[in-house]
């Protein structure tokens, strides 16, 4: 939203430099996003008199003009407009000046002296479009000779030497009053503690003469949807003055386009007061209703009802929209846009002017359903106070009568079923100081609140003024006091803490440690999106129906909540190989959700905190990463052949294993299946694991794995066992370990070799076994006994033969 | 030529042939394509679509059969072993710690931020990444249809769940969990941190996926001045220097009053001007009530800010899209 500094100065006594003002507005009201100096845009525009005007020979539309820019010297300008004539005042853009329409666009058009049809043209005479004020390009702008003389600066005469403040709308969502320049100025005066120059039309209703020729019946079906509706009928004059009006320039200055006197007047009042007005062709309005007189009914739209809008689009209405109807026939989508059936056109003689307030929630719905984001509906979605409509409609009638010769042919009709008044709020100065940590007394609080129009009684009861729709509770009042006096004047200090131990964030701590361990193992942590496309799901064989689906995603690649992390990693492995990397190991820790698992106790989707790692290499490499990692947490993993789950379809079944701690499955590790490898264009064997950290967390053993060291000489023996080819390595390993431990020895065993010779029925597994006694140095006989024990256990339990 | 009959014949062949890809070169398929120009205009489009659909279906069957064949050729392995049978020592899996590994800068920073809060005595919990309307909006004083919901641009799932647009989605849970502490004369002090989502188009400064950390402090006597103190001390610890602070009024439905919190630009970032670092305010009475905490007895403050921007400023990262790009060239910068 744009706030004009000229207007601010008009309605409030400013008295501080602009940078200081912007700083104060920033700290006490709202962030100023940008300060725009308008003056340079119009600095070269000069008002000139066209002294001579002749046709250019050989051209059907060009005129050769001699213009006087005040000095009396004549300058030649070629002009293509058909409304140019000798004796008029126009706006001249001299050579070397920038056409205002293009100023600051980065594609600026600099005028020069150039030949047109053989005649030199020095710059140009400007239309509304070239001045950046409107879209009109049919003729050049004509200036009222009563208001200016040749040589006058156009910017000075039309108050264009202005500074504009671009305000961040979001932080004023609750302040409808600040969506008008006057209300904004009122607030700034409050902040500065200076005088607010209230426009007279707020002090007293504007007076305008009218006859009672026409009558309007207004019916509001539901006061919740439309708290207040006012209307007046006005007759248009035969014609408007042809001169450029200050109103058109005012409207354009703060960012809207000048259109015609009626629309510009309505827009000007909206920009000043925050109250939008709408105008209908009154005769069409009556005709549509078929009653011979206007009957306005404001009601909820009916499901399926259709309305053709001003812009030619026909929309289907929703029962949550509000419509203005002429005797029940829709003529406007309330707050948003008028209907084509009552649009004002060249033949319009009388207009019906509407000043109303609508339910802000309905307005918001309408805005999004129909994609209408006009200046008017932006204001309606803030909830304008019903008290405002009357001031503004009267001012409109008065202003347009006086300036443009409109004539009211009815009084202002008003439907206001339930009057809305701000209720008093009771609180104490102590309440204020306790919430803010401040030290105000009642005098300061009263002065601060009264300065912005609040009524303060005793110590104290406070009533917000009519234009404040956002003050409902004690805290709202306290915020006003803190804000207007400056939150920054409150002393920042630390609270007294009760001495309590924070609850450890075990999962967070575990993740931090995993990050360090895996990055030390040369893996790289990545973050990838939580949403994936159907394409990715299909590549890994996961069912899209098993993913929560995002309905308003902007990209097909972000349509589903992912079921696992590993597929995203596979995609990144491919991208990095393309970038020339090899030996890639990527890991990520993040949340996943699987739709068919349903809800948790809070009735929200069950959440899994997963860790996944994808590595270029075979199953055994992924497993090694995992073993080394969990080793740091004292967790010993078992790997078992298991059926792949529905989310794990991309692993090769014969090269994957369920990961178990005790008898709890905590995840999966596997080689990527050949078909999937092709889908991802992975040239090298790639493997991955995915672990649920929540499950792993419960298995952490602090101090596990620690063994006291024997002080005696140890023994080292290599033992090779011949076992059946399908004998699981872990079985043999466990048997050997158990046997050594049963003897109370300090022991360590490490695999040396797994060998299969010509005999396809057996394989040889070799371990290097180290052991020592805690009590003594073992002698030869004892050593042989232990080795024999291991051998016989292996033979007995596993039918293994020692070689 | 009967399309349906040809279709079932070709599909059968695709399922049975030893070299399933051959079926894609079947003469029948060519014959079908040849038929297209002979048809009338209206039939041609429909027939063409059917043939294309058939071709897609055949290709899918072929791909599945080929994948099966590839898998069938795979030898089973002993998943309990450290490496495969007859694998030479040089080819056995090994991890060489070469210092090439890296931690993600966003995670490293988030750890640091959370660590400071923990040292200040705050509990820390990670924020949910898929939540309901109640936690994301309603319990935070955003009733249905509230205009302030618009500025959040949330994603939604078919089932009506929301990938949260702020870590405040944990606030109601934290308050509910802390009720007993308050009743026993204690205080609620907690931060929630994690991944959030907004439906924004990607560019160098906008991401739909980002990280936040937010906190709450509730007691019988907390003030806005104390909020300013806590936030100032946090940033002084974070940037290891004394910092001036200031505020700007802001509107968030879950606080009243609501503020933007600014710090003076720290020396490490060049040190001139102000930086907007988070939103904050006194918890709205409706938010306390929604958690079953009596707002006439207890007050609180809450704050929250983004992590991504802190990291971008710290390193001078010029494009936010790097964070989720998975590009090793970027990641390896952060040892």
Out of A530, A593, A641, name the one closest to residue B79 (CB).
Answer: A641
pLDDT band at B34 (very low <50, low <70, confident <90, very high): confident
Contacts of A593 in chain B (CB under 8 A): 129-130
Contacts of A508 in chain B (CB under 8 A): 111, 114, 124, 126
CB–CB contact A526 B326 (8 Å): yes
Q: What mean pLDDT comes out for the span A399-425?
A: 95
CB–CB contact A654 B104 (8 Å): no
Size of interface A-B (CB pairs under 8 A): 339
User: Which pLDDT value is given to residue A182?
Assistant: 96
* Residue B109: closest C-alpha in chain A: A512
C-alpha to C-alpha distance for B230 and A496, rounded to whole angstroms: 11
Angle between helices A780-798 and A729-742 (to 10 degrees): 140
Other Cβ atoms closer than 10 A to B241: 13
User: Which pLDDT value is given to residue B19?
Assistant: 83
Contacts of A175 in chain B (CB under 8 A): 251
CB–CB contact A524 B251 (8 Å): no
CB–CB contact B230 A365 (8 Å): no
Contacts of B333 in chain A (CB under 8 A): none
B49 vs chain A: nearest CA distance in angstroms?
A: 22
C-alpha to C-alpha distance for A692 and B53, rounded to whole angstroms: 40
Q: What mean pLDDT comes out for the span A505-533?
A: 96
* Residue B120: closest C-alpha in chain A: A502
* Higher pLDDT among residues A396 and A255, named by residue: A396
Q: What mean pLDDT comes out for the span A101-109?
A: 89
Q: Are A523 and A617 in contact (CB under 8 A)?
A: no
CB–CB contact A561 B157 (8 Å): yes
DSSP label at A708?
P
Contacts of A605 in chain B (CB under 8 A): 130, 161
* pLDDT tens-digit readout, B269-322: 998 899 999 999 999 999 999 999 999 999 999 999 999 999 999 999 999 999
C-alpha to C-alpha distance for A717 and A791, rounded to whole angstroms: 12
Out of A505, A529, A554, name the one closest to residue B209 (CB).
Answer: A529
Per-domain boundaries in chain B: 3-72, 105-331
CB–CB contact B130 A508 (8 Å): no
Q: Please name the residues in contact with A240: beta carbons below 8 A apart, sequence gap of 6 or more.
A: A260, A261, A404, A405
Q: Are A511 and A693 in contact (CB under 8 A)?
A: yes
User: Which pLDDT value is given to residue A376?
Assistant: 93
pLDDT band at B87 (very low <50, low <70, confident <90, very high): very high
* Residue A516: closest C-alpha in chain B: B103
Q: What structural domains and CATH numbers belong to chain A?
A: 2-35+170-198 (3.30.56), 40-157 (2.40.50.140), 216-415 (3.50.40.10), 425-489 (3.30.56.10), 506-697 (3.30.930.10), 715-802 (3.30.70.380)
Which segment of A131-145, A683-697, B154-168 scores lowest on mean pLDDT?
A131-145
Which of B66, B173, B248, B311 best tests the A interface by mutation, with the highest count of A CBs <10 A?
A: B248
User: Which pLDDT value is given to residue A137?
Assistant: 83
Which of B120, B174, B328 best tests the A interface by mutation, with the highest count of A CBs <10 A?
A: B328
Is B132 a residue whose pLDDT tops 80?
yes
The domain made up of B105-331 is a member of CATH 3.30.930.10: yes
Which of A495, A600, A641, A758 best tests the B interface by mutation, with the highest count of B CBs <10 A?
A: A495
A209 vs chain B: nearest CA distance in angstroms?
A: 40
Q: What is the CA radius of gyration of chain A?
A: 41
Which segment of A789-793, B152-156, B177-181, B274-278 scores lowest on mean pLDDT?
B152-156
Q: Are A609 and A507 in contact (CB under 8 A)?
A: yes
* Residue A676: closest C-alpha in chain B: B67
Tokens encoding A778: 């073992």
A316 vs chain B: nearest CA distance in angstroms?
A: 21
* Residue B157: closest C-alpha in chain A: A550
Out of B82, B157, B224, name the one closest to residue A487 (CB).
Answer: B224
C-alpha to C-alpha distance for A676 and B267, rounded to whole angstroms: 51
* pLDDT tens-digit readout, A660-674: 999 999 999 999 999
CB–CB contact B161 A586 (8 Å): no
Which of A381, A674, A694 best tests the B interface by mutation, with the highest count of B CBs <10 A?
A: A674
CB–CB contact A31 B260 (8 Å): yes
Which of B64, B162, B326 best tests the A interface by mutation, with the highest count of A CBs <10 A?
A: B326
Contacts of B158 in chain A (CB under 8 A): 548-549, 551
pLDDT band at B31 (very low <50, low <70, confident <90, very high): confident
Is A381 a residue whose pLDDT tops 70?
yes
Is A563 a residue whose pLDDT tops 90?
yes
Q: Residue B67 half-sphere exposure, CB side, CA atoms within 13 Å? A: 22
CB–CB contact A500 B163 (8 Å): no
Out of B102, B223, B257, name the one closest to residue A479 (CB).
Answer: B257
pLDDT band at A514 (very low <50, low <70, confident <90, very high): very high
* Residue B326: closest C-alpha in chain A: A526
Tokens encoding B301: 């403050």
Which segment of A298-302, A709-713, B222-226, B228-232 scores lowest on mean pLDDT?
A709-713
CB–CB contact A674 B74 (8 Å): yes
Q: What is the enclosing helix (H) or strand (E) of B261? A: strand B255-264
Length of chain B: 335
C-alpha distance across the termini of chain B, in Å: 67
Is B150 a residue whose pLDDT tops 80?
no
B37 vs chain A: nearest CA distance in angstroms?
A: 33
Exposure class string for A183-219: b at 16+ Cβ within 10 A, else e: bbbbbbbbbbeeebeebebbeeebebebeeebebebe
pLDDT band at B53 (very low <50, low <70, confident <90, very high): confident
CB–CB contact B156 A552 (8 Å): yes
Contacts of B320 in chain A (CB under 8 A): none
Q: How far is CA B251 from CA A30, A323, A445, A473, A673, in A?
A: 9, 31, 22, 15, 53
C-alpha to C-alpha distance for A623 and A687, rounded to whole angstroms: 9
Out of A502, A550, A589, name the one closest to residue B157 (CB).
Answer: A550
C-alpha to C-alpha distance for B132 and B156, rounded to whole angstroms: 9
Which of A553, A584, A604, A640 best tests the B interface by mutation, with the highest count of B CBs <10 A?
A: A604
CB–CB contact A528 B332 (8 Å): no
Q: Are A404 and A196 in contact (CB under 8 A)?
A: no
CB–CB contact B130 A605 (8 Å): yes
Contacts of B129 in chain A (CB under 8 A): 530, 590-591, 593, 607
* pLDDT tens-digit readout, A673-731: 998 999 999 999 999 999 999 999 999 987 767 788 899 999 999 999 999 999 999 99
Out of B74, B156, B157, name the one closest to residue A654 (CB).
Answer: B74
Contacts of B114 in chain A (CB under 8 A): 505, 508
Residue with tokens 């014959």: B31
* Residue B101: closest C-alpha in chain A: A522
pLDDT band at B23 (very low <50, low <70, confident <90, very high): confident
Is B76 a residue whose pLDDT tops 80?
yes
Q: What mean pLDDT comes out for the span A75-103?
A: 93
Contacts of A491 in chain B (CB under 8 A): 225
Q: How far is CA B169 from CA A163, A682, A751, A795, B175, in A?
A: 41, 39, 51, 61, 11
* Residue A493: closest C-alpha in chain B: B229
CB–CB contact A655 B87 (8 Å): no
Contacts of B92 in chain A (CB under 8 A): 620
Is B71 a residue whose pLDDT tops 80?
no
Q: How far is CA B151 from CA A146, A301, A776, B154, in A?
A: 49, 27, 76, 9
CB–CB contact B114 A756 (8 Å): no
Average pLDDT, chain A: 94
pLDDT band at B1 (very low <50, low <70, confident <90, very high): low
Average pLDDT, chain B: 91
* Residue B75: closest C-alpha in chain A: A654
CB–CB contact B225 A437 (8 Å): yes
* pLDDT tens-digit readout, B167-212: 999 999 999 999 999 999 999 999 999 999 999 888 998 999 999 9
């Amino acid at each position: 939203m744009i706030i004009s500094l000229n207007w601010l100065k008009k309605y409030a006594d400013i008295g501080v430099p602009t940078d200081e003002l912007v700083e104060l507005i920033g700290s006490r009201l709202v962030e100023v996003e940008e300060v725009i100096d308008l003056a340079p845009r119009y600095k070269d525009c000069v008002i000139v008199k066209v002294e001579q005007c002749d046709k250019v020979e050989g051209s059907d539309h060009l005129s050769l003009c001699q213009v006087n820019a005040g000095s009396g010297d004549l300058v030649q300008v070629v002009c293509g407009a058909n409304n140019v004539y000798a004796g008029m005042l126009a706006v001249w853009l001299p050579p070397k000046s920038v056409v205002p329409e293009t100023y600051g666009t980065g594609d600026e058009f600099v005028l020069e002296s150039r030949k047109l049809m053989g005649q030199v043209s020095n710059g140009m005479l400007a239309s509304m479009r070239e001045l950046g004020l409107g879209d009109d390009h049919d003729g050049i702008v004509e200036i009222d000779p009563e208001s200016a003389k040749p040589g006058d600066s156009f910017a000075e005469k039309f108050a264009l030497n202005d500074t504009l403040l671009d305000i961040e709308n979001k932080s004023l969502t609750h302040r409808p009053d600040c969506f008008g320049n006057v209300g904004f100025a009122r607030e700034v005066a409050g902040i500065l503690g200076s005088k607010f120059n209230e426009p007279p039309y707020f002090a007293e209703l504007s007076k305008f003469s009218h006859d009672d020729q026409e009558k309007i019946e207004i019916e509001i079906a539901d006061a919740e949807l439309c708290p207040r509706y006012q209307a007046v009928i006005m007759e248009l004059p035969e014609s408007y003055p042809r001169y450029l009006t200050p109103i058109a320039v005012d409207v354009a200055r703060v960012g809207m386009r000048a259109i015609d006197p009626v629309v510009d007047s309505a827009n000007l009042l909206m920009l000043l007061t925050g109250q939008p007005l709408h105008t209908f062709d009154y005769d069409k309005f009556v005709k549509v209703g078929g009653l011979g007189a206007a009957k306005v009914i404001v009601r909820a739209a009916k499901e399926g009802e259709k309305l053709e809008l001003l812009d030619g689009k026909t929309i289907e209405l929703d029962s949550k929209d509000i419509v203005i109807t002429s005797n029940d026939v829709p003529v406007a989508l309330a707050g948003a846009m008028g209907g084509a059936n009552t649009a004002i056109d060249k033949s319009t003689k009388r207009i019906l002017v509407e000043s109303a307030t609508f339910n802000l929630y309905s307005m918001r719905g309408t805005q999004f359903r129909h994609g209408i984001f006009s200046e008017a509906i932006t204001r309606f979605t803030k909830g304008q106070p019903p008290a405002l409509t009357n001031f503004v409609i009267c001012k409109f009638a008065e202003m347009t009568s006086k300036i443009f010769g409109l004539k009211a042919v009815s009084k202002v009709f008003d439907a206001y079923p339930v009057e809305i008044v701000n209720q008093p709020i009771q609180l104490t100065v102590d309440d204020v100081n306790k919430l803010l940590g401040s030290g105000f007394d009642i005098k300061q609080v009263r002065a601060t609140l009264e300065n912005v129009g609040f009524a303060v009684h005793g110590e104290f009861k406070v009533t917000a003024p009519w234009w404040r729709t956002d003050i409902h509770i004690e805290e709202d009042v306290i915020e006003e006091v803190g804000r207007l006096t400056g939150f920054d004047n409150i002393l920042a200090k630390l609270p007294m803490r009760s001495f309590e131990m924070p609850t450890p964030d075990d999962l967070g701590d575990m993740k931090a440690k995993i990050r360090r361990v895996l990055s030390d193992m040369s893996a790289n942590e990545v973050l990838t999106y939580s949403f994936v496309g159907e394409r990715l799901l299909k590549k890994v064989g996961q069912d899209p129906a098993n993913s929560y689906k995002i309905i308003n995603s902007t990209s097909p690649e972000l349509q589903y909540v992912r079921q696992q992390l590993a597929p995203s990693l596979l995609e990144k492995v491919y991208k990095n190989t393309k970038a020339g990397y090899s030996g890639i190991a990527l890991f990520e820790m993040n949340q996943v959700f699987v739709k068919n698992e349903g809800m948790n106790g809070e009735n929200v989707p069950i959440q899994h905190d997963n860790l996944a790692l994808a590595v270029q290499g075979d199953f055994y490499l992924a497993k090694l990463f995992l073993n080394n990692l969990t080793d740091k947490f004292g967790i010993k993993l078992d790997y078992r052949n298991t059926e792949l789950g529905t989310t794990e379809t991309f692993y090769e079944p014969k090269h994957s294993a369920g990961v178990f701690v005790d008898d709890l499955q905590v995840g999966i590790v596997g080689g990527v299946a050949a078909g999937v490898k092709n889908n991802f264009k992975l040239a090298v064997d790639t493997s991955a694991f995915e672990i649920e950290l929540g499950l792993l967390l419960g298995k952490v053993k602090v101090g596990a794995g620690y063994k006291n060291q024997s002080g005696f000489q140890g023994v080292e023996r290599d033992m090779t066992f011949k076992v059946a080819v399908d004998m699981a390595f872990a079985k043999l390993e466990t048997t050997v370990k158990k046997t050594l431990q049963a003897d109370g020895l300090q022991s360590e065993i490490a695999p040396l070799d797994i060998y299969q010779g010509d005999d396809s029925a057996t394989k040889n597994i070799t371990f290097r076994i180290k052991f020592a006694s805690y009590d003594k140095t073992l002698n030869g006989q004892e050593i042989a006994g232990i080795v024999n024990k291991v051998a016989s256990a292996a033979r007995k339990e596993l039918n293994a033969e020692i070689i | 030529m009967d399309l349906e009959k040809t279709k079932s014949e070709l599909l059968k062949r695709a399922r049975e042939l030893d070299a399933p890809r051959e079926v894609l070169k079947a003469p029948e398929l060519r014959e079908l394509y040849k038929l297209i120009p002979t048809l009338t205009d209206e039939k041609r489009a429909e027939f063409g679509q059917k043939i294309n659909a058939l071709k897609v279906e055949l290709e899918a069957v072929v791909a599945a059969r080929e994948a099966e064949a590839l898998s069938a050729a795979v030898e089973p392995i002993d998943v309990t072993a450290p490496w495969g049978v007859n694998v030479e020592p040089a080819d056995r899996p090994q991890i060489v710690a070469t210092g090439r590994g890296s931690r993600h800068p966003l995670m490293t920073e988030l750890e640091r931020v959370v660590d400071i809060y923990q040292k200040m005595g705050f509990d820390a919990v990670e924020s949910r990444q898929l939540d309901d309307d109640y936690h994301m909006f309603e319990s935070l004083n955003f009733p249905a249809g509230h205009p302030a919901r618009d500025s959040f641009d949330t994603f939604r799932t078919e089932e009506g769940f929301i990938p949260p647009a702020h870590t405040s989605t944990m606030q109601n849970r934290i308050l509910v969990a802390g009720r007993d502490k308050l009743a026993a004369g204690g205080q609620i002090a907690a931060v929630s941190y994690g991944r959030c989502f907004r439906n924004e188009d990607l560019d160098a400064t906008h991401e739909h996926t980002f990280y936040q950390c937010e906190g709450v402090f509730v007691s019988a006597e907390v003030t806005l001045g104390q909020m300013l103190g806590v936030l100032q001390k946090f940033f002084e610890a974070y940037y290891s220097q004394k910092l001036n602070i200031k505020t700007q009024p802001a509107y968030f439905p879950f606080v009243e009053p609501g503020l933007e919190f600014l710090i003076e630009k720290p020396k490490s970032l060049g040190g001139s001007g102000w930086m907007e670092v988070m939103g904050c305010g006194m918890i709205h009475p409706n938010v306390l009530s929604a958690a079953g905490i009596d707002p006439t007895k207890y007050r609180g403050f809450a704050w929250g800010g983004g992590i991504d921007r802190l990291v971008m400023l710290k390193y001078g990262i010029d494009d936010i899209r790097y964070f989720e790009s998975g590009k090793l060239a970027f990641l390896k910068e952060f040892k």
